[in-house]
Amino acid sequence: MLMASPLKLFVKKQRKLPETIQIRFLKRVERFLTNGYSLQDALEATAWDKDLAPISQYFLVKLKEGARLDNIFESAGFHPAISSFLYFVHANSDLNEAIRKCLELVEHQFQNVRKFKQIIRYPLFLLLIFSVVLFFINHRVLPAFQTLFTSSPETQTTINILKWLMDFIQFSAISIVVVGILFVIIWRHVQPRMAMEEQLKVVQRIPGYRYYLRLQTSLQLATHFSSLLKAGLTLKEILAELANQNRLPILSYYAILLTNNLERGYHISSLLEELPLIEKQLAVIFQKNTTVPVLEKDLTLYSDMLLEEIERVTIRVITYIQPVFYTVLGVFIIFIYLSIMWPMFQLINSF
């Protein structure tokens, strides 16, 4: 019986690739492109690695069929950020630079997500254990204490207060989880039907997420603007490219707004100042630069600064997570101790 080829097995799986494989593939392709290989030769050379061979073969087959590079990345199971970034490759002739920049962005993103998972895993495990313990105390221990200490009014009052606090904590936790799940379900159902303007009004009301989204949108705009300027596109052509894509909906919406208002005679710097999810510094960069090379250089440097800022903010949030979780766990431990020992102490003192 003939065994299936690696390519057929890869096509059959049709699942998301591991992050390590995605990074390895991008690094190999970028390395060969840097050394003067064409895209086809780079993919064939990448197939020397047996782990990457099925992916390379899949890319070669799809390219021969005439598929777009970003669509191939998407269908091959790569992260959506990669296919979104490489959408503009057809307009930017510098494929090597595009993959290099894409690799830099997704590496930072994968690394931050990995750090977040590592930091939150153990506290979540402990929180789950102590939640089960609290549930057991609330539904088994305290009711038993209420029956046991009926002769001591003071102890009975303490137990009733503890029982009320337990019920309140349990109800609040369940309510938060249920409301969060309902919000996600409703948002996913309603979001596709909402106009982008209405969606932006919703996300702008979420303080922490709003700041992160502003940095991310500014980074996307600066990065793609600088790469397309480098490729020789005019301002009108760049905005058309941004508006026609659907992988970055906020950027597409803003590009349409900018195009419509530029046709009315407004300057792009004044328009950028009015966009809530765009950093004001971008407007300053467009205002002070009159030559394309200087503007392209400033946007490239500014996108690097935004990437560093996103990483700094992400790391700062991650470092705050563990202390918060351990504080909550400490409160749980104290509460468990009081729930069991305090009625005992009161009963002993009553004798």
Q: By the 8 A CB rule, do 28 and 53 touch?
A: no
**Digit-coded pLDDT (tens) for 217-231:** 999 999 889 888 888
User: Which residue, 108, 141, 165, sits at the end of a domain?
Assistant: 108
Which residues, 6+ apart, have CB-to-CB distance to 154 below 8 Å? 346, 350
Residues 210 and 255 in one domain: yes
The pLDDT of residue 253 is above 90? yes
Residue 316 to residue 299: CA distance in whole angstroms: 25
Residues 283 and 350 in one domain: yes
Q: What is the pLDDT of residue 2?
A: 39
Residues 156 and 262 in one domain: yes
Q: Considering the entire predicted model, what is its pTM?
A: 0.77
Q: Chain-wide mean pLDDT for the chain?
A: 83
Domain count, the chain: 2
Range of the domain at 135: 118-351
Name the least confident of 97-101, 121-125, 263-267, 332-336.
332-336
* Residue 10 confidence class, pLDDT cut points 50, 70, 90: low
Q: What is the pLDDT of residue 347?
A: 61
Which of 35-39, 285-289, 347-351 is the most confident on average? Answer: 35-39
Is residue 1 assigned to a domain?
Answer: no
Is residue 113 assigned to a domain?
Answer: no
Residue 240 to residue 62: CA distance in whole angstroms: 27
The pLDDT of residue 11 is above 60? no
Q: By the 8 A CB rule, do 229 and 238 touch?
A: yes
The pLDDT of residue 259 is above 60? yes
* Residue 256 confidence class, pLDDT cut points 50, 70, 90: very high
Interior/surface letters 147-159, b for 16+ CB within 10 angstroms, e for the rest:
eebeebeebbebb
**Digit-coded pLDDT (tens) for 61-117:** 999 998 988 899 988 889 888 888 888 876 666 788 888 888 888 888 888 888 888
User: Which residue, 108, 140, 159, sits at the end of a domain?
Assistant: 108
Residue 57 burial class via C-beta count within 10 angstroms: exposed 0-12, middle 13-18, buried 19 and up: buried
In 3D space, the residue among 116, 108, 112 whose CA is nearest the CA of residue 85 turns out to be 108
Residues 38 and 125 in one domain: no
Is residue 133 assigned to a domain?
Answer: yes
**Digit-coded pLDDT (tens) for 267-305:** 888 889 889 999 999 989 988 866 888 888 899 899 989
Radius of gyration of the chain (CA): 28
User: Which residue, 90, 108, 126, sits at the end of a domain?
Assistant: 108
Is residue 205 assigned to a domain?
Answer: yes
Inter-axis angle of helices 53-64 and 6-13, to 10 degrees?
A: 80
